[in-house]
Amino acid sequence: MIEDVQVLLDKENEEMLFNQRTERNSNFNFGAYHSLEEFSTGGNKPAIWLDAGIHAREWVTQATALWTANKIASDYGNDPSVTSILDAMDIFLLPVTNPDGYVFSQTSNRMWRKTRSKVSGSLCVGVDPNRNWDAGFGGPGASSNPCSDSYHGPSANSEIEVKAIVDFIKTHGNVKAFITLHSYSQLLMFPYGYKCTTPDNFDELDEVAQKAAQLVTSLHGTNYKVGPICSVIYQASGGSIDWSYDYGIKYSFAFELRDTGRYGFLLPAKQILPTAEETWLGLKAIMEHVRDHPY
């Protein structure tokens, strides 16, 4: 039996501080970490949401998100633009939105797309988490068949992966941009997907997306197509950026990263770094616009 938990905590704190001093310039070490007292939630600053990997098999998105997190942290204090973005706003980045599906795609079925939740009354497993949002739920482009890769689930937000994000966004209350990374097709899209009508601020969204796409192309020549989901790719209901836009987050964008089909989901590892590098240019352009156009 532990007689005094505080004694153990104090001892661990001493060890952690020692490790921080001796290994400050080394790589990540589980023995050297920041205490909770060092962290700040940023209050209620305006925020940008960025997620990746909502579809398990889209591996280049999770890798790109991790690279992006490192880029943002490394550039703060060095890149004036990144520094000003982070001084004005918080960035919440979720690199693996569908962790159970991601692991399953690595261990059992490389082409797995959905979550791994059990479906009542069916032997088939999982829900398409990008058909599960409360935005035209159950409409065109989604399936009621539990065995389909586009199965929308029993109800909107039934998947914990989706509900957790919805709850976070609503609780925060000051998210100004919602960006999600998918693959593949080389597209930069904005609402709508569940209906084929243009959003109220179409001209602004199109201008921002066109600029971002041009910057993506400028690095390695990767061409992107820009426009609303319904016209650029296909009609699809229950998608995340349709929900975020209808919720009032007017800067809502979805990237479809490399490539256009030669490798598809099986993008070679050697393309991860150039994909991340070019995507960052587009992401930063969007973030700069959000910073400069508060609402």
CATH no. for residue 188?
Answer: 3.40.630.10
Q: Please tell me which residue in 256, 277, 278, 288 is annotated as part of the active site.
A: 256
Q: For residues 197 and 136, what is the distance between their CA atoms, to the nearest angstrom? A: 13
Rounded to two decimals, what is the model's pTM?
A: 0.89
The answer, yes or no, to whether residue 3 has pLDDT greater than 80, is no
76's CB contacts (< 8 A; 6+ apart) are: 82, 83, 86
Give per-residue pLDDT as tens, 169-182.
999 999 999 999 99
Counting Cα atoms < 13 Å in the Cβ hemisphere of 271 gives 17
DSSP state of 234: -
Q: Is residue 9 part of a domain?
A: no
CA-based end-to-end distance of the chain: 55
Q: Is residue 23 part of a domain?
A: no
Q: Is residue 287 part of a domain?
A: yes
Domain count, the chain: 1
Q: Is residue 16 part of a domain?
A: no
The answer, yes or no, to whether residue 131 has pLDDT greater than 80, is yes
256 is catalytic: yes
Q: Is residue 236 part of a domain?
A: yes
Q: Is residue 161 part of a domain?
A: yes
Counting Cα atoms < 13 Å in the Cβ hemisphere of 62 gives 18
Residue 42's pLDDT band, with cuts at 50, 70 and 90, is: low
The answer, yes or no, to whether residue 20 has pLDDT greater than 80, is no
Q: Is residue 95 part of a domain?
A: yes
The pLDDT of residue 12 is 77
Query: What percent of the chain lies above the pLDDT cut of 90?
Result: 85
Residue type (1 letter), 197 = T
Residue 182: Cβ-neighbour burial (10 angstroms; 0-12, 13-18, 19+) = buried
Q: Is residue 212 part of a domain?
A: yes
Give per-residue pLDDT as tens, 57-84.
999 999 999 999 999 999 999 999 999 9
Domain span holding position 285: 36-292
Residues 114, 126: contact at Cβ < 8 Å? yes
Range list of H helices, the chain: 5-22, 59-75, 80-88, 99-107, 160-172, 202-220, 229-232, 240-247, 272-292
Q: For residues 185 and 108, what is the distance between their CA atoms, to the nearest angstrom? A: 25
